Chains A and B, each alone.
Chain A
Amino acid sequence: MSTLTAAPALTPAAYVPPSAQFRRRMIWLGSCALLMVLGGVYLKFKPWMLFTDFHHLVRLGGEMLPPNLAMLWHKPALFKTIGETVAMSFLGTLLGGAVAFVLAFFASRNTAPHRLLRAFTRLGFGLERATPNFVVLLVLFIAFGYGPFAAMLALALGSVGLFGKLFADAIEQADPGPCESVASVGATRLQVIRYAIIPQILPSVVANSFYAFDVNLRAAIALGVYGGGGIGFELQLAMKVLRYPDVLALILFIIVLITGMERVSDFVRRRLIQSSESLK
C-alpha cells in the first residue's frame, strides 16, 4: 500500500488518449465550420455566384486591356504623384520612428523612470495600434484639410504605436551586463542608455524602420484613395471616370513601385546589418 501512496508524484497527469485527442480535434474543426456557415448566411454569400457572375469579371478585364501605359509620357504629373506617395511614407516613417524612439525608453522595464509611466506609455502604444489609419486620417483632414500632409501625419501617428512596441521590446531584451558595467564606472542613466543600450538595439531599430517603411508605402496608397493625395488618389479618380485602361496601368505602376521599393529597402537593410555583422 505504501507504493500506491508514493505513486501520484510520478503519474503522467497530462496524458490524453488518442481517441480523446481525435474528439477534441473534431470539435474544433466543427465549430470553425459552423462559424463559417453562419458568417456566410449573415453576409448572404452565395458561392455559386463565383460561377454565374464570372462573365462580369471577364468583361471588366476586357475593358481594362490594353493598359494605358502611355500615361507615363503623356502625363508627367504622374511622377509627381508617385513622388508624393513615396515622400509621404518616408517622412511618416522617419517622424513616427523618431517620436517612438524617445517614447520607447519610457515604455521599457529597464529604462522607464517609473512603473506607472511604463504601463501608461504601453497602453498608449496599444490604443494607437488599435486605431485604424484612415480613422486618424479623417480626423486630420478636419484639422489640416485634404492632401498629402494630413496623410503623412496619419502615417507618422500610425507608426508610433508599431515602432514604439518594437523598440521597447528591443530595449527590454538588451543585455543587462553591459548596462551594469557602464553604470559601475559612475555613468548617469542617460549615459548608460547612450553607451550600453543604444549600441545594442541599433540593428533592430534599423531593420524595423525599413520594415515599417514598406508597410507605410502600402498604407500611403490606401490613404491616397481616401483623399490623401499621391498615386492612390489618382487611381480613385480614374475609377470614378470609368477609364479602365488607366486603372490597370496605375495598378501596374503601384505593383512595380512597391516591389521596387521593397527590393531597395531590403538591399540597404541587408547591407547595413551585414556591415555591422562583419565588424563583429
Chain B
Amino acid sequence: MLHVENLTKKLPDGRLLLDRVSLKVSRGEFVGILGASGAGKSLTLRCILGLTKADSGTATLHTEACGGKSYDLLTCKGREQRNCRRRMGVIFQGFNLVKRLRVLDNVMIGRLARIHPLRSWLYGFTDAEAAEALEALRRVKMDMHADRITGSLSGGEMQRVAIARAIFQKPAIYLADEPIAALDPSNSLGIMKLLAPLAQETPVVGVFHQPEMTARFCTRVVAIKAGRVVYDGDPRLSHNQLQDIYGDELMQVLRPAPTTPEPAIAESSRSLPVLANFA
C-alpha cells in the first residue's frame, strides 16, 4: 500500500534530519513508529503528506480501489497533490479541529476534496452526507455530541472526532501523528482500541511515544533514531532494544541511579564570581 524508500531531508546547513528512511506498509497492518523526540518520526509523516518538502527519496501509495492507481507522494503538486491527500486520513497530535464549527461540520470536512469547490462554498454538504458523517461519529461513540461546538469538547473527545473525520474521508491509509500524546492513559487506551480494528480494514501508521501501547496494539513497530530506521519488526521490544532506540539518557530517567555529578553542579553555582567582584 504505502511504500517509502530512502526518504532524506536535510537542513540548509547540510545536517541530516532524515537519513534514507524506508518503510513499507501493507494491508491489515497497524504500524507504530517509535523514537526519541526529534528523531524524525513526525517529519517522516509530514513529508509523506507533503506538508514538508523532502530532499530526496520516493513515497508511493497504491490504492486497490479506483483500479489500483498509485500515487507518487513526494513530487505531486496542486490538483494531483490534493488527490493524494484525499486518500490519506490524518490524525494530528493537537487534534487540529476547527473549534468554532460544530462536531458534525468538522467530520464532514473530511470529504471536502470530493465535492465540487463551488458547492462547498455556496451550499455546503448534503443531508445524505451528514447522515453518513453521523454514522462515522457513531463508530467512535461521539454521535450524541454531533451538534456541539467542537471547542467545548475535552481532548479525548476531540481526538475521537478527528478519527471520525478520517473515517468519513474513506482513505486508503490512516496516518496518525502522536494521536495519544496529549491524552491521559484511559483516553489513550480508548483511542488505541478504536485504531486497532480500523487497521484491519485500512492500514494505520502511527507515531507513538508509548512502547507499551505499541506492543499491545500494533502489528509491527518501526524505530527511528537520529533520522535513521534502526528497527523494523515485532512490536514487543526488549529492554535492551528500547535502550538502543531511546539512548542511555532516557534509561537513566526511568531508573535513576545514585548520581555523582551533583556536587560538581553545586560547586560551580556556589562560586558566583560577579558578586565576589562587586564586594
Query: Of A77-85, A180-188, A208-216, A245-253, which binds chain B?
Result: A180-188
Query: Chain B's interface: helix, strand, loop or mixed, by majority?
Result: helix
Tell me whether A7 is interfacial, beta carbon within 8 Å.
yes
Q: How far is the CB of B270 from chain A (nearest CB, A)?
A: 13
Residues in A neighbouring B23, C-beta threshold 8 A = none
A170 to B112, CA, bound (A): 24
Beyond contacts A187-B113, A191-B121: 11 other A-B pairs, Cβ-Cβ < 8 A, are A180-B51, A181-B90, A181-B92, A182-B98, A182-B109, A183-B85, A185-B90, A185-B112, A190-B117, A195-B105, A199-B98
Query: Of B55-63, B133-141, B271-279, which binds chain A?
Result: B271-279
A-B CB contacts (within 8 Å), total count: 99
A256 to B81, CA, bound (A): 59
Tell me whether B94 is interfacial, beta carbon within 8 Å.
yes
Q: How far is the CB of A171 from chain B (nearest CB, A)?
A: 14
Give A contacts to B, CB under 8 Å.
3-4, 6-7, 10-11, 175, 177-178, 180-188, 190-191, 194-196, 199-200, 202-203, 276, 279-280
Partner of B51, one of A184, A185, A191: A184
Tell me whether B97 is interfacial, beta carbon within 8 Å.
yes
Q: How far is the CB of A184 from chain B (nearest CB, A)?
A: 4
Q: How far is the CB of B265 from chain A (nearest CB, A)?
A: 17
Give B contacts to A, CB under 8 Å.
49, 51, 81-90, 92, 94-101, 105, 109-113, 117, 120-121, 148-149, 151-152, 162, 165, 169, 271, 273-274, 276-277
A280 to B152, CA, bound (A): 5
**A187 touching B112 by the CB < 8 A rule?**
yes
**A185 touching B109 by the CB < 8 A rule?**
yes
Partner of A188, one of B105, B109, B111, B117: B117
Most buried by B among A180, A200, A203: A180
Residues in B neighbouring A175, C-beta threshold 8 A = 99
Query: Chain A's interface: helix, strand, loop or mixed, by majority?
Result: helix
Residues in B neighbouring A184, C-beta threshold 8 A = 49, 51, 85, 88, 90
Partner of A177, one of B82, B87, B94, B120: B94
Residues in B neighbouring A190, C-beta threshold 8 A = 117, 121
Closest to B113 in A: A186
A269 to B143, CA, bound (A): 32
Using A182-B98, A183-B85, A186-B83 as known contacts, say yes or no to A6 and B273 having CB atoms under 8 A apart. Answer: yes
Closest to B85 in A: A186
Partner of B169, one of A177, A178, A185, A276: A185
Closest to B91 in A: A181
Residues in B neighbouring A177, C-beta threshold 8 A = 92, 94-96
Residues in A neighbouring B271, C-beta threshold 8 A = 3
**B109 touching A187 by the CB < 8 A rule?**
yes
**A191 touching B274 by the CB < 8 A rule?**
no
**A185 touching B98 by the CB < 8 A rule?**
no
Using A186-B83, A187-B112, A191-B112 as known contacts, say yes or no to A181 and B273 having CB atoms under 8 A apart. Answer: no
